[in-house]
Amino acid sequence: MKPKQKKFQKLKHKYRLVILNDDTFEEKLSFRLSRLNVFAVVGLSSILLIVLVTLLIAFTPLREFIPGYANVTIRKIGLQNALKVDSLEIALSQKQLYIDNIKNIIQGNPINFSQEVHIDSTIDYKNIVNQPVKEDSLLRNMVETEEKYSLFKSAAKTPSTISSFIFFSPIKGTITQKFNIKGTEKHRGIDIVAPKNEVIKSTLNGTVIFAEFTNESGYVIQIQHESNLLSVYKHNSVLYKKVGDRVNAGEVISIIGNTGEFSSGPHLHFELWYNGIPLNPEEYISF
């Protein structure tokens, strides 16, 4: 018989465990055991004990008595407070940057910025033509000239200083919600629906004064133009310009998107402001 077989046979040898009365030598209990049985019982008992202790600690309040393990409610509240503080810091820095940029533009000082441009590396827009089409510019000039001498056009609705401007359409699409500042639910711009990943272009030459993410409007770009004219582009998915950039009419500034709490689908919310007063973009631009 081989040595390994001999060792295995020894594990299977039977032994008797007897419990006797010490005074009368009466046999009370007796067990027939082998080394293999003893090892199996001890191993299974140890595994069962470890599993029971683990379950007891993991699914009962006893885990709170472990050093370094905080109360679940306290941890949840701490995590929520940390997220709120982080959001407040981001919002505060964005507001401060916006105020500083407005101040620098008014005072004529150079704009300093440290924010990165939000670029989607999966989309290639290198072949996009950023310059206005010549035929489109001629058509707009003709339409603006005709409207300029129209007797039925209200002078109050068309500021004289910008009536001769040639606006470039930021995007071609379908207007789903029009300009309205008379009703209870005011809408100071227009909503334009267009295909996914459609580019958005600047309506005039100007300087970017705001290019950030906001909770309500998602990625937003604001461009300051001459004659105190301001254009606003909301709910973008990608921003291609940053604060301080100089843009030309028809230049790509962002991609249409569905960002922000006030957005229910991919579209562009476009606003046009003159001296702090919202204008109806449809009176100046053909979408």
Tens-digit pLDDT profile for residues 72-108: 677 778 888 888 888 888 888 888 888 887 877 777 6
> Helices 3-12 and 35-58: crossing angle, nearest 10°?
70
Tell me the C-alpha to C-alpha distance, in Å, between residue 40 and each of 10, 51, 197: 15, 17, 66
Using only C-alpha atoms, what is the Rg of the chain?
38
Domains and CATH numbers, the chain: 11-65 (no CATH), 118-283 (2.70.70.10)
pLDDT value at residue 68: 61
109-153 pLDDT, tens digit each:
766 555 454 555 665 555 554 555 555 666 666 655 555 444 434
Q: What is the pTM of this model?
A: 0.47
pLDDT value at residue 38: 83
DSSP string, 61-90: GGGGGSTT---HHHHHHHHHHHHHHHHHHH
